[in-house]
Amino acid sequence: MHYLSHPAAIRDADVSVPGDKSVSHRAIMLGSIAEGVTEVHGFLAGEDCLATMSAFRSLGVTIERPAATQLVIHGVGLHGLQAPDADLDLGNSGTAMRLMAGVLAGQNFAATLTGDESLTGRPMQRIITPLSRMGADIGSRDGRPPLVIRGNPDLEGIDYALPMASAQVKSAILLAGLYARGRTTVAEPAVTRDHTERMLRAMGVAVDTTDSRIGVLGPATLQASRVDVPADLSSAAFVILAALLADEAEILIRDVGVNPTRTGVVDILQAMGASISLENARDMGEEPVADIRVRSSTLRGIDVDPALVSLAIDEFPVLFVAAAVADGSTRFTGIGELRVKESDRIAAMAAGLRALGIRVEESDDGALVHGGRFSGGQVQSFGDHRIAMSLAVAGTVADGPVTVRDVTAVETSFPGFETCLKQIGADIVCRQDAPA
């Protein structure tokens, strides 16, 4: 499938976006190993989270779905999971694979985690190393999936310094630490999203956080609780981008998660001159939430602060598009982690922007984007949902239609993307590719 995005007049609107993917994944995982029944409201019914739900059902957990965005999870406790009858296919989800590896490390059975072509090409040595130090036996294909995890119920807690900032790796170690004897501590070189720590606390687990060190004492017991999932800031970022690029629009996005470990995209855009304000701030369970008001703005090029990279790691495709229309040049550094996401996002965005007439200079861990105007044209998403949506939004202010190829993966994180964007005036349609 492909998107056809035409230049369009984005208009004032009041909209919502789907639930947070990171919180939805964790709600299934922690609810499954908790004692009691966990109700999840606002669940993201995207393919990634549905793959996680299917995997835990295969592990013997009863998960009811009375509505599209509501789950009822009958927790089996820390040691109640059962050996699956087949490999666990996690589709495109790196979050699911890395976090599930932590849960499975402490079981008394073996399980195999696999996924699609993109996921089986992503690096997993970063979780294999610490989980192996804890006593897990993990087989892989040169550090890449499928992962064959032979669980060990006698895991030992470790003190581990992350070589690079990664919420997924941190969470995998902490989840394994729930099963381990003694204290498990993770030291991170930069702040990363803390949804795991917040949800663990909500389920009764003592999580110690001192400076850059996060620790749990195992074995630990989780108690079921209600989880209200806020709207996903990563999805809201595409609506924010469309509003900023427009000639004259004001858009309010409701009930968005604004966890401070996730708001780097807002900080960076504001530094570029974006008019973005947070209103009606409140808490939804353990997660801070606000309504986000965005007004069309003239952006300027900046040198993006590397300290903000870990707080905006999923939103850089959006930031590349913002940089492409800014006055002057924008320099991104310290973003080498983007090269091992669903695609090489530095190379993919550079190729897409160049195809639309924007000058981009790549480096190993960054890029220099020179502001200009988008021409129409045809671009590749490389099967990456965030690349596809970012370039589709670029088409709303291009000089001609933009065709974005291979957009099926958008369903992994933002089901209803075109419908949502249509509410604000965008002309983005999804079409089947013509037969070869």
Q: What is the CATH number of the domain that holds 157?
A: 3.65.10.10
Q: Report if residue 135 sits inside a domain.
A: yes
**pLDDT attached to residue 285:** 87
Same domain, 209 and 253: no
Q: What percent of the chain has pLDDT over 70?
A: 99
Q: Are residues 346 and 384 in the same domain?
A: yes
Q: How many domains does the chain have?
A: 2
Task: Single out the residue in 196, 228, 260 at which a domain terminates.
Answer: 228
Q: Where a domain ends, among 170, 199, 228?
A: 228
- For residue 148, give the 3-state DSSP assignment: strand
* Model pLDDT for residues 79-93, shown as the tens digit of each residue: 999 999 999 999 999
322 has a pLDDT exceeding 60 = yes
Predicted pLDDT of residue 435: 44
Write the DSSP symbol of residue 167.
H
Q: Are residues 208 and 245 in the same domain?
A: no
Do residues 194 and 60 both lie within one domain? yes
Question: Are both 422 and 317 inside the same structural domain?
Answer: yes
CA–CA separation, 32 and 63 (whole Å): 8
Please tell me whether residues 56 and 97 are part of one structural domain: yes
Q: Do residues 40 and 71 lie in contact, with contact meaning Cβ atoms separated by under 8 Å?
A: yes
| Token pair for 43 | 């669940």
Tell whether 10 is covered by a domain: yes
> Can you tell me the mean pLDDT for 203-232?
96
Mean model confidence pLDDT for the chain: 96
Give me the domain span that covers residue 109: 21-215+223-228
pLDDT on residue 436? 39
Per-residue pLDDT tens digits for 244-270: 999 999 999 999 999 999 999 999 999
Q: Does 96 lie in the same domain as 207? A: yes
Q: What are phi and psi of 61, to 5 degrees?
A: -95, 130
Specify the pLDDT at position 433: 78
Let me know whether 235 and 183 are in one domain: no
* Per-residue exposure over 144-154, b if at least 16 CB sit within 10 Å of its own CB, e if not: ebbbbbbbbee
Q: Does residue 374 lie in a domain region?
A: yes
Q: Are residues 134 and 262 in the same domain?
A: no
> Would residue 293 count as lying in a domain?
yes
Q: Which residue, chain included where needed, has tokens 């952006």?
A: 299
Partners of 245 in the beta sheet? none
Return all residues near 167 (Cβ < 8 A) that are at least 6 apart. Answer: 22, 192, 193, 194, 195, 196, 261
**Helix H or strand E encompassing 348:** helix 345-355
| Catalytic residue IDs | 314
What span, in angstroms and rounded, lies between the C-alpha atoms of 362 and 354? 11
State which of 202, 228, 254 marks the end of a domain.
Answer: 228
Asked if 301 and 329 count as a contact pair (C-beta separation under 8 A), the reply is yes
Do the domain assignments include residue 105? Answer: yes
**Does residue 407 lie within any of the structural domains?**
yes
Does residue 436 form part of some domain? Answer: no
Instruction: Specify the DSSP element, H or E, that contains 209.
Output: strand 207-210
Q: Are residues 170 and 237 in the same domain?
A: no
Whether the pTM exceeds 0.85: the reply is: yes
Same domain, 140 and 250: no
Look at residue 434 in the predicted model and tell me its pLDDT.
Answer: 61
> Do residues 220 and 24 lie in contact, with contact meaning Cβ atoms separated by under 8 Å?
no
Q: Is residue 194 part of a domain?
A: yes
Same domain, 12 and 76: no
DSSP 99-118: HHHHHHTTSSSEEEEE--TT
The residue-averaged pLDDT of 422-430 equals 96
